[in-house]
């Protein structure tokens, strides 16, 4: 595809293999990504203070809810899922293009978007209007629903495999009340038509509040490693279309 001499390609591949970026697939002439990209992703995630604080609280929530719990941080107009805890309390780092999505595209991103200042939401709308890919734009009524989520204090998203139940999103906020990240309880956590807090949800929110308090305890935590970048300048990785 690159129209390079075979010898040059083999030399490049040998260098990438030595440095851990690729590895041979089952001893064949084919290559797959090595361990180095995973290490780079983990190093990136560890730059977020929430990644250092989060595992304890994610484990607690996963055990309480008996569901998978995720931690997603904001990077420009995207949500980056950096950690996940299973209901047994184990925490894993997430790596790969599936960890990054536009804020309106999933539960955790919508939770962040719903609790941003109005000026930031208007900025996100302008960003969407500038995108050439319109296929994933929000459906009619989305922005009204987002305001309702903010008034409730949580975000719910019905599940396709359990239409009477919904997954739950809780914002992680700074002292001004604006979301810097979100917690997702991924599974049939609440009734799909639930608009009020239940005693169980109140317990989960108490854990979230403790998470926020730990986050606020050090002013350095409030500084995102990407705060200096213009959100419009951050673009998603390109996905090669299947032929």
Position 87 pLDDT exceeds 50: yes
**Helix/strand/coil for 192:** coil
**Longest alpha-carbon distance in the chain:** 66
Helix, strand and coil in the chain, % to nearest 5: 40, 25, 35
Position 122 pLDDT exceeds 80: yes
pLDDT of residue 14: 92
Structure tokens at 216: 């606020």
Structure tokens at 228: 């200096």
Band (89; pLDDT cuts 50, 70, 90): low
| CB 60, CB 210: distance < 8 Å | no
Model pTM score: 0.82
pLDDT in tens, 192-231: 887 788 899 999 999 999 999 999 888 777 777 888 889 9
- CA pair distance 192, 206, nearest whole angstrom: 22
pLDDT in tens, 166-191: 999 999 998 888 999 999 999 888 88
What H or E segment, with its residue span, contains residue 184? strand 179-191
What does the chain come to in residues? 243
Q: Within 10 A of 241 (CB to CB), how many other CB atoms are there?
A: 5
Query: Residue 201's closest CA among 147, 145, 154?
Result: 154
- For 118, half-sphere exposure in the C-beta direction (CA atoms, 13 angstrom radius) is 2
Q: What is the mean pLDDT of the chain?
A: 87
Q: What phi and psi, each to the nearest 5 degrees, are found at residue 210? A: -65, -40
Query: Residue 153's closest CA among 120, 118, 183?
Result: 183
Query: Residue 96's closest CA among 51, 45, 168?
Result: 45
Position 237 pLDDT exceeds 60: yes
% pLDDT > 70, the chain: 92
**Helix/strand/coil for 162:** strand
Enumerate domains of the chain plus CATH numbers.
Answer: 11-39 (no CATH), 48-226 (3.30.450.40)
Position 242 pLDDT exceeds 50: no
């Amino acid at each position: 595809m690159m129209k390079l001499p075979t010898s040059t390609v083999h030399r490049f591949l040998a260098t990438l293999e030595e440095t851990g970026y690729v590895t041979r697939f089952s001893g064949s002439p084919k290559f797959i990504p090595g361990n180095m990209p995973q290490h780079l992703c983990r190093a990136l995630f560890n730059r977020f203070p929430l990644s250092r604080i989060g595992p304890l609280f994610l484990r607690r929530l996963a055990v309480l809810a008996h569901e998978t719990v995720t931690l997603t941080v904001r990077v420009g107009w995207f949500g980056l899922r950096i950690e996940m805890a299973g209901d047994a309390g184990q925490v894993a780092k997430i790596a790969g293009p599936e960890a990054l999505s536009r804020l309106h595209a999933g539960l955790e991103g919508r939770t962040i978007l719903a609790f941003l200042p109005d000026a930031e939401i208007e900025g996100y709308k302008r960003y969407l209007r500038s995108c050439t890919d319109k296929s994933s734009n929000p459906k009619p009524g989305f922005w009204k629903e987002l305001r309702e989520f903010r008034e409730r204090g949580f975000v719910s998203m019905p599940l396709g495999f359990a239409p009477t139940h919904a997954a739950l999103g809780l914002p992680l906020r700074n002292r001004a009340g604006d979301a810097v990240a979100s917690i997702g309880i991924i599974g049939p956590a609440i009734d799909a038509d639930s608009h009020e807090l239940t005693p169980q949800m109140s317990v989960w929110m108490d854990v979230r509040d403790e998470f926020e308090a730990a986050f606020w305890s050090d002013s350095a935590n409030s500084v995102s490693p990407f705060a200096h970048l213009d959100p419009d300048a951050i673009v998603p990785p390109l996905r090669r279309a299947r032929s």
